[in-house]
Structure 1
């Protein structure tokens, strides 16, 4: 039963129809969670006894950094699926998620620099955590460039899958860099698997922001994948019949082109 569902998920038609049911819910949850988390974190959470109010940027920095790393792990999984089972939908997910992950990495680096200025007295230091995050950004750029540079879709999918799988070695380096080396970057003060070291009135809004960012990622990824599927499958019967029945789908397919 599990393998049957797995192979069904590889069908572009089935994925397009199923994803349309989840996308509005993910978008609505993302808007609600982020709105509550931002207001709670910026206006009502107590200030930090050491950093004062400058710590509040973590309500954007931490979710962006977590999502940037999780997104690349997802790309590596998609790469394995593409290499082993040759599923086209895995390449679609990889190509559509890479720009989102790159933007989240940029947000994490920029907000980290803003946070580092009052904390460390410098916008940037060649810290192990910061350097490995910068490498992550270059990996995202490499995936995007590689996917656009190779004209043959199958060759591009193979090359991007290999790069995604190889590059995932950087993720544990990012996570454990503060433990393996003597760095300025503080250890993680929030984790989904460990008890937070912060008081509840500080970590609860952060939890809402993390969940909101992941819901936002899911909604945007599904939207991008649906548009990409319409573009790639434009000559298939199911897309043509859907376009005939829905003017909105026709507009989406034209926009994807």
Structure 2
């Protein structure tokens, strides 16, 4: 187990294995997102209360799931970097932050669009909405910290600490609909209960969620490979790789 972790922490090994894995995640992501989009927007039945406006969940729910999952992954990567000094964990965390911020913004924007026909307003200081807005600020804070220090190590440590502290916001987001009065509906999926919506409505949603996660993995692998080349530019194996490319 420790040998595998040590190997996973090697930029050279990660660069090689990610090159083989990346195309598969791209293909699966594109296929699932295409199927889920067509199924959800064109073939799923309209909601008996919300009509066709409910279809925004096929973007809103996956982006919200991913926004929270990425931040948790960043916090875990921060712990790995701070405790075991594994550089690849910090590289991955660095490239995840912009995607996480984008997914949080998409979740907030799509939720606002959904709120007009459902609640009659674009925004309200609802517990779920407010905690998601805080998540966006946390992402922006992590990104800002990485550019605020002259020393890369100092920037990495500061960003890791903020991610580890800020992860406390994730359970607040998840349980906000249970802890406080909120207009936001409960989670669309749970591990213990069958979804309340019909199969022809929740199955394309599940496909979209899996597709978004595969997209996240593919983008992370791609951007981490680029980050490895940038940080390891002076290493012999990178120079040899550049020589082969030329």
TM score, norm. by length of structure 2: 0.98
Please, which runs of 5 or more residues in structure 2 have no aligned partner? none
The alpha-carbon deviation at position 194 of structure 1 amounts to 3.8
Any idea what the Cα deviations from partners look like across 1:60-89, whole Å, max 9, x if unmatched?
Answer: 000000000000000000010011001111
The 1:117–1:197 alpha-carbon spacing in structure 2 relative to 1, beyond 3 Å, is: same
Q: Which moved more, 1:150-159 or 1:162-171?
A: 150-159
Query: Tell me, what secondary structure is at the counterpart of 2:234?
Result: coil
The aligned counterpart of 2:144 is: 145
Partner of 1:105: 104
Separation (CA, whole Å) in 2 of partners of 1:136 and 1:167: 8
- 2:130 is equivalent to residue 131 of structure 1: yes
Q: Which residue number in structure 2 is paired with residue 51 of structure 1? A: 50
1:12-64 deviation per Cα after TM superposition (whole angstroms, max 9, x unaligned): 00000010111000001110000000000000000001100000000000000
Q: Distance in 2 between matches of 1:192 and 1:245?
A: 49
Q: Which runs of 5+ in 1 are unaligned?
A: 248-257
In 2, Cα distance between equivalents of 1:194 and 1:156: 43
CA shift, 1:151, in A, is 1.5
Residue 252 of structure 1 corresponds to which residue in structure 2? Answer: none
How big is each residue's C-alpha offset from its partner over 1:150-171, in whole Å with a ceiling of 9 and x where there is no partner?
A: 1201111111111110000000
Match of 1:83?
82
Aligned residues: 246
* TM-aligned CA deviation for residue 246 of structure 1: 1.8
* Distance in 1, Cα, partners of 2:106 & 2:209: 14
1:188, CA displacement in angstroms? 1.0
2:115 alignment partner in structure 1: 116
Structure 1 runs of 4+ with >3 Å offset: 191-194
The CA distance in 1 between the partners of 2:27 and 2:193, in whole Å, is 28
Trace 1:33-72 onto structure 2 (pairs within 5 A): 33-72=32-71
> Aligned partners of 1:193, 1:231: CA distance in 2, in Å?
44
Partner of 2:218: 219
For residues 114-144 of structure 1, the C-alpha deviation after alignment (integer angstroms, 9 at most, x for no partner) is 0011000000000000000000000000000
Distance 1:86 1:73 in 2: 19
What does residue 186 of structure 1 align with? 185
Q: CA–CA distance in 2 between the matches of 1:112 and 1:180?
A: 20
| CA shift in 2, pair 1:192/1:210, >3 Å | farther
After superposition, the CA RMSD in angstroms is: 0.8
